[in-house]
Amino acid sequence: MFGLTFLYPGVHEFLKVLQKSRIKSGICSNKPVSLTRSLADHLKISEFFDVILGPEDCGKPKPAPDMIVKGMEMLQVSADQIVYLGDMDIDIKASKSAGVKPWIVRHDQELPFDLSEPIEKDDIFVSFEDILAKKQKMILPD
């Protein structure tokens, strides 16, 4: 069922760093939450997430901010304590609507990527390794 589903390079290592740094994390996906949980289990990454949400958990899919807001409530964090990591324009819209700083990972530099929402250049990354290299002071413990 998940034969064509894979993790992007560096994801597992990135999640390990977050976990080691005791950084809370969650998934907010427009896929049905049961499918998202099954995918996370299949990819062996469920253990890294404190919360996994889908649109049925809060009534509205992204770009509505509802999932992100519910995730913040469940994690007991405020908007200024998190970033929202996504890979699509809809993720920028959802995070900004929730008052959260967006980070975007561009997995494929060959594909066109039109942003209808402005985002700081320093918050666009080419890989998960790129995030760790550029934001290590923010992520890694002293």
Cα 35 from chain centroid? 16
Buried b (16+ CB within 10 A) or exposed e, 43-77: eebeebbebbbbbeebeebbbbbbbbbbbbeeeee
Q: What is the pLDDT of residues 100-115, one digit of tens each?
A: 999 999 876 666 666 7
**Considering only CA atoms, which of 2, 77, 89 is closest in space to residue 37?**
2
The CA-based angle 123-127-129, given to 5 degrees, is 100
More confident residue, 89 or 47: 47
What's the pLDDT at 61?
A: 96
Contact 15, 43 (CB under 8 A): no
Tokens coding 96:
């900004």
Q: Is the pTM of this model over 0.85?
A: yes
Our measurement of the distance from residue 20's CA atom to the centroid of its chain's CA atoms, rounded to an integer in Å, reads: 17
Q: What is the pLDDT of residues 68-83, one digit of tens each?
A: 999 999 999 999 999 9
How far apart are alpha carbons 65 and 83 in whole angstroms?
A: 13
Q: Report d(CA 103, CA 125) in Å as an integer.
A: 8
Tell me, what's the pLDDT at 118? 81
Percent above pLDDT 70 for the chain: 92
Name the token pair of 52.
Answer: 């996994």
